[in-house]
């Protein structure tokens, strides 16, 4: 089983090779959401490989087969560093650089990595990204005051504030119109003025787009975006 040395232990990763083995295919690095792992994306990864895209994915700290206390992510810096190391590994085959594809918490990690190391990736796809302004009127939930939850929420908010002000990396934002975790209207409003960013909202879809009824459309959008970035410009 493939592992690499991460920021705080051994990190497990998977690779799904392109069905069409000719040439150098576009590469995406997929970063999963909280409570998931890379194996959850096997079906979705195969949708992408059938569209000419190679897929790499890791398990975050404390998830899947990556070392760490179960369910405990650790600091955002470590998640970003692990993603950076996998992206560098996935980009060794040549081409314009991988496209970072992050879902939910993984989208926050992908956005932070793209801002920190813009030359490492060709583009950015954010699915279910929690970049709406915090809902101050939301009723507290059990565990909201846990130190790790408070720290994670603060880290996400810090990334959101930097991201909505910046630009530079071509970005595709995919969101469900019926997302009950991160309302779509807040994300659209937050990213409205950001250059180089296109937002697509899927009617009737919720938070977990890669596993919902729109997953084929989502795979088409990601593959088209990655292939477009890999084509010679001009």
Report the number of distinct structural domains present in the chain.
Answer: 1
| 8 A C-beta contact, residue 30 and residue 57 | yes
Distances (CA, A) of 174 to 25, 147, 163: 22, 30, 16
Task: Supply the pTM of this predicted model.
Answer: 0.93
pLDDT at 114: 96
pLDDT band at 32 (very low <50, low <70, confident <90, very high): very high
pLDDT at 142: 56
pLDDT at 143: 58
d(CA 209, CA 197): 19
* pLDDT value at 135 more than 70: no
Q: Which two tokens stand for residue 180?
A: 């009950």
d(CA 210, CA 204): 14
* pLDDT value at 137 more than 50: no
* pLDDT value at 58 more than 90: yes
Query: Quick one: average pLDDT of 10-25?
Result: 87
∠ at Cα 154 (148, 156), nearest 5°?
Answer: 100
pLDDT at 144: 65
pLDDT band at 1 (very low <50, low <70, confident <90, very high): confident
Q: What residues make up the domain containing 16?
A: 3-230
d(CA 154, CA 7): 21
Nearest one of 120, 132, 221 to 169, comparing CA atoms:
120
Query: Quick one: average pLDDT of 156-185?
Result: 93
Q: Which residue has the higher pLDDT, 165 or 179?
A: 179
Distances (CA, A) of 208 to 40, 50, 62, 100, 102: 11, 21, 20, 17, 11
Give the CATH number of the domain where residue 174 resides: 3.40.50.1820
pLDDT at 140: 54
Strands 123-127 and 3-6: unpaired
d(CA 140, CA 190): 23
* pLDDT value at 183 more than 50: yes
Side-chain half-sphere of 196: how many Cα atoms within 13 Å? Answer: 14
């Amino acid at each position: 089983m493939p592992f690499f040395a991460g920021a705080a232990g051994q990190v497990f990763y998977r690779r799904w090779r392109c069905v069409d083995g000719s040439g150098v295919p576009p590469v995406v690095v997929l970063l999963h959401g909280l409570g998931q792992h890379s194996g959850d994306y096997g079906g979705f990864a195969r949708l992408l490989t059938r569209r000419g895209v190679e897929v790499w994915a890791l398990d975050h700290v404390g998830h899947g087969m990556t070392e760490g206390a179960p369910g405990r992510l650790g600091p955002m810096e470590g998640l970003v560093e692990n993603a950076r190391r996998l992206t560098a590994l996935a980009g060794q085959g040549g081409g314009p650089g991988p496209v970072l594809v992050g879902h939910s918490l993984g989208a926050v990690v992908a956005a932070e990595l793209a801002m920190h190391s813009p030359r490492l990736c060709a583009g950015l796809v954010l699915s279910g990204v929690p970049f709406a302004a915090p809902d101050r009127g939301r009723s507290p939930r059990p565990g909201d005051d846990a130190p790790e939850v408070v720290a994670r929420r603060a880290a996400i908010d810090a990334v959101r504030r930097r991201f909505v002000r910046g630009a530079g990396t071509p970005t595709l934002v995919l969101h469900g119109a019926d997302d009950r975790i991160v309302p779509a209207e807040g994300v659209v409003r937050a990213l409205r003025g950001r250059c180089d960013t296109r937002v697509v909202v899927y009617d009737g879809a919720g938070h977990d787009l890669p596993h919902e009824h729109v997953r084929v459309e989502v795979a088409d959008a990601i593959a088209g975006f990655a292939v477009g970035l890999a084509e010679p410009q001009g």
